Amino acid sequence: MIHRIPWILFILTAGLIAAPQQTKGADLPNIILIVADDLGINDLGCYGGDTHFSPHLDRFARDGRRFNTAYAAQPICSASRAAIMTGKHPARLHLTNYLPGRLDTLAQKLRQPIIEGQLPLEEITLAELLRDAGYATAMFGKWHLGNDDFGPAKQGFDVAKLFPENANPASSAGSKNEHAITDAANQFIEQHRDTAFFCYLAHHSPHIPLVALPEKIAKYSDRFHPTYGAMIESLDESVGRLLSNLDRLRLTSRTLVIFTSDNGGLHVLESPGTPATTNAPYRAGKGYLFEGGIRVPLLMRWPGVIPAGSIDDIPMTLMDLMPTILKAAHLDPARVIGPLDGKEIPLSQPPPADDRSLHWHFPHYTNQGSRPAAAIRREHWKLIEQMEDESIELFDLSVDPSEQNNLASKHPERVSALRDELHAWQKSIGAQMPTPHPEYDVLLHRSIYLDLDSSRLVSDATARQTADQWKNWRKQLNQVLDGKKAALTPSRGDVRLFAAQARLHSKNMRYEKEPNKNVLGYWTSPNDWADWDFTVDQAGRYEVEVQVGCGRGSGGAVVQLEVAGQSLDWTVVETGHFQNMIQQTIGQVNLTTGPQTLAIKPKTKPGPAVMDLRRVVLRPMATASPASGK
């Protein structure tokens, strides 16, 4: 049974907070966000690529700003899209993989953590904030953050239309419905031309399977991948149609348009007709934390605000889009949502030099052959740690953007400092870690992940020639999944207990209903506690997760959770701000069907406050285990 707060509380309070900052009518800029699917950094002419034809996006770049060092929050689709929609890191959301996730297999040295099965409704999205500030909101295309009750219509979009990933290439819809998506967006824009609107176009292109019009494919017969080239051209045409519509409606000057991709291009053999593209000189591609997997195209255009032809080389992340868009819409992120993992990008002038570190946490095995890893970039140095064996690679991106020369042995002090910073960040954000797989097949693991390292794939002259070298590898990677009974990541059927539903036994602690809080706060007395009544529909073992925030100087409280005669103790992590929420997995409990009561009681309080608590999640553990892969 899934328990949720009445969402109207969030809507009403968000409106109250946002109202003083609203600027009505034409003073609010329109905002259009276009996200391609698996578009690589080299796939557009404006980034120096000469394999494809992208005149409309190239002009887009000339009329606005091109970001040369933009990074996805994750090298995989759902996690990256969740970060864009919330401004929060996938590791903070515990939504670090694509949905529903790749099965665990005996080829893995580690078991993957159980993640969220969808973007939770209690997370406040960009669309919700803009809608509550007076924007008409619409989403067209690919959501990939949860179906039915977790679809875009439940996450702040007034209008939401999901399009299938494939169209008949002979139709006017385009090869992957990119023209149909754009036509729907253009209709919405015309209907709301006199009001402020936020329009999110999430394309399926150029994700596999690769399909395109035959006449377009023929134009690229001498290129790396003719079908992929045709798909890029069709995607480019769809962007051109949208920009032309803005011109026709005289909306260009008051519309911020953003174009990007959810992750890097697919560089390996994954399905018939692939690999799709090459990310050279960058290493690897989709699914990897090397540059080819996380470096993405990013273009912004807003005439009169963003200088035409400007170029930005400072490293940034797509999580920066949310605070940037909110500021453009005259909203203060700190007031309407609280701390975000992204940082506002100045639009009217070049951003100042930024000494922040960028982090990635990806505890998963992928269809592209990557293994669990984490990474940090600080200035021009980048460190990648493999979670299987804690091995380190260190690269100087200023001279080695291809990440071929591992300098870890030459810079032990730098390695130590960066690794310590990475580990501290993982702890502070509540990152989930994989666990040992005691039954893994050593030989199978070696043949798939070590003997042929797909991050080292060097493309041949064509996609077909490249694929020939990797057919046996792909066959093995697919075979370990065939017929195996393994738990999907994530599981379903979780029980969610929210702060608003708690029964309070307190003197000071109370429910704070503001949408940027939505917590049990003012927990200044260790004698204050809370409990919840709930019903278990399915007996079994449940993983217990709490979502908490803790301001500076208030960390270290020991708290006990009691349920069904069992207790779990955990230590509250200082997160830097009480609304800087993280999710902590604190253990497992056995539950029987029927009514239950769960209580949370502090045992110690070394600082001014215990914590702020937003929710408790009890997530059913998988009962099936992988069959033998030997």
Taking Cα atoms as reference points, which of 39, 58, 56, 59 lies closest to residue 48? Answer: 58
Question: How many beta carbons lie within 10 A of that of residue 25, not counting itself?
Answer: 9
Question: β-pairing, 136-141 with 197-202?
Answer: parallel
Residue pointed to by tokens 């730098």: 414
Question: How many beta carbons lie within 10 A of that of residue 611, not counting itself?
Answer: 28
- Quote the tokens at residue 322: 């949310």
Q: Are 418 and 381 in contact (CB under 8 A)?
A: yes
On the 0-12 / 13-18 / 19+ scale of CB atoms within 10 A, 593 is exposed
Q: Are 205 and 37 in contact (CB under 8 A)?
A: yes
* d(C-alpha 607, C-alpha 552), whole Å: 9
- In 64-155, beta strands by DSSP E: 65-71, 110-111, 136-141
Expressed in angstroms, the distance from the first to the final Cα of the chain is 38
**Active-site annotation holds for 380:** no
**Helix/strand/coil for 341:** coil
**Active-site annotation holds for 225:** no
* d(C-alpha 61, C-alpha 300), whole Å: 7
Ramachandran bin of 60, using left for φ above 0, alpha for ψ from -120 to 50, beta for the remaining angles: alpha
Ramachandran bin of 310, using left for φ above 0, alpha for ψ from -120 to 50, beta for the remaining angles: beta
Question: β-pairing, 392-396 with 577-591?
Answer: unpaired
Instruction: Please identify which of the residues 52, 56, 89, 144 carries the catalytic annotation.
Output: 144
277-310: burial string, b at 16+ Cβ within 10 Å, e else: bbbeebbbbbbbbbbbbbbbbbbbbbeebbeeeb
Instruction: Please identify which of the residues 52, 56, 77, 207 carries the catalytic annotation.
Output: 77
Catalytic residues: 77, 144
